Structure formats: structure tokens, C-alpha cells
Amino acid sequence: MNNSKGEREQERKRLIDSLISNGYLSKPEVIDSMLKVPRHRFVPESKKYSAYVDMPLTIGYGQTISAPHMVAMMTEHLDVKPHHKILEVGAGSGYQAAVLAEILDEGKIYTVERIPELAKNAEENLRGCGYSKVHIAIGEGTKGYAEESPYDRIIVTAGAPRVPKALLDQLNDNGKLLIPVGGRMLQELMLIEKYEKGFKEKKLGGCVFVPLIGKDGW
Ligand code: SAM
């Protein structure tokens, strides 16, 4: 197992290079962000040796940190600007929130996680790496997080049977919502844009996420 900081940075660089050459990454700010965030600090000790392999890893409580190519794709499609206020549903390890936080300047991220132990772990991971723009709340994310709404961007990192209405309501005009929608085993990644007169939907391809649990979930 490679342990030194330099070796981890090299592994991370190799992974990002492969995501670029496989067409998952192209925006400079997303490449920069993924080069900076130390994924090995967001996975359990026993999984650190696989932190820079392009695959999801278990993080306990039956949950996963998504594969780097999925984080890359979702972050690119979310089209984040430095001033955005973002809501994430499903903090998990905190890694996706950290990747988004790297792109922000005066913006902020609120991330909701239903499993208290994972929320605490995500908080420790994020604080340990100095990500102070990310605020974690324990709760049922299909209801969104009304306290801080509306949001410029909403990203759901668990698979839903349908789009929760609360999330559409908490989106700003010209806001974007990214959410995997479909069955328990396989979903389609959907990008929903809000306009004054309604919503526009785009299908971005198949994906596999753990289920979104709750009132408007499974
Ligand atoms: N974004 C995470 C990361 O970077 O590690 C990965 C998220 S993991 C694939 C999905 C997460 O969604 C799990 O931690 C799960 O507990 C959480 N989750 C599922 N249903 C939820 C709900 N209704 N509200 C909040 N979190 C939920």
C-alpha cells in the first residue's frame, strides 16, 4: 500500500487523468477540484488502498461513497458557479460536498444525511480537511432543507422512485436539480432546470445508487 503524501497525490493525478481521457471530466474548475480533494480522507481506514481506484466503496451502514467518475459527471452537469447556494441530499462520506466546495467562493453548501453516524463522520472528514463552507444537517432529505432555501443547485446522491416535490419547490428560478430516478437497482440520472414557466428535463444516462429513503423516496 502506498502511504506517503506524494504517492497519494500521484495516484490521484493518474485517476483524474484517466477520467479526463475517458470523457468524464473536461471543465477546468472540476478537474482542479478533484485534483485537490483527498478522497482517501473520506473513506474508512480499511479502504484507503482503493481510494484512487474508479469504483464506489462501502462506508458503513449499508452506504457507499460514489465512484469518482460518477462524482465527476454529476459535478460537471451541475454547472456550479462560485457564488451558488447548493443543497446536497445524502452527505454519505462528505466527499461530493468537498468537491463542490472547492469550486465555491462566496457560495455555501448544505448537505442533509438521514443516518446520524454518517452525518457525524462526514462532518469529521470535512472539518479535518478544512471545508468550512459545508453545513451538515441530520434529516429526511426528500423534504429538502427549507431553512436555507431557495437553492441555485440541488444534487441528490441516492436513487429516488420519483422527483420529490419539495426539492422542485426549493429550487431558484434558473436553478438546476440533478437526481437519479428509477427503480431500486437501476436509475436514470435526470437534470431538471427550473424556469419562470415550468421545468425542463434532460436524461443523462443510466446509473446505480443506493435508495433514497423517506416520504417521497423508497
Ligand atoms: N454523496 C455521498 C458521498 O460523497 O460520499 C455519497 C452518498 S451515498 C451514495 C447516499 C447517501 O444518501 C447515504 O449516506 C444515505 O444514508 C443517504 N440517504 C438516503 N436517503 C436519504 C434521505 N431521505 N435523506 C438524506 N439522506 C439520505
Domain boundaries along the sequence of the chain: 5-207
Radius of gyration over every alpha carbon of the chain, rounded to an integer in angstroms: 16
- Please confirm whether the linkage preceding 150 is cis (ω < 30° from 0): yes
Digitized pLDDT (tens) for each residue of the chain, 218 residues in all: 457 889 999 999 999 999 999 999 999 999 999 999 999 999 999 999 999 999 999 999 999 999 999 999 999 999 999 999 999 999 999 999 999 999 999 999 999 999 999 999 999 999 999 999 999 999 999 999 999 999 999 999 999 999 999 999 999 999 999 999 999 999 999 999 999 889 999 999 999 999 999 999 99
Residue nearest to atom 11 of ligand 1 (CA): 90
Q: What is the pLDDT of residue 4?
A: 87
The Cβ of residue 200 has, within 10 Å, a number of other Cβ atoms equal to 11
Cβ of 138 closer than 6 Å to ligand 1, yes or no, is no
Mutate to test the pocket of ligand 1, among 93, 118, 210, 216 (most ligand atoms within 8 A of CB): 210
Catalytic residue among 46, 66, 93, 149: 66
Arch. (CATH architecture) of 5-207: 3-Layer(aba) Sandwich (3.40)
Q: Which atom of ligand 1 is nearest to the CA of 217?
A: 23
**What pLDDT was estimated at residue 196?**
87
What pLDDT shows up at residue 32? Answer: 98
Is 66 part of the annotated catalytic residue set? yes
Predicted pLDDT at 168: 98
The per-residue pLDDT for 111 is 98
Ligand 1 contact, 51 CB (< 6 A): no
Strands 85-89 and 108-113, by their bridges, are: parallel
DSSP string, 99-130: HHHTT-SS-EEEEEES-HHHHHHHHHHHHHTT
The grid coordinates listed for 47 are 479502504
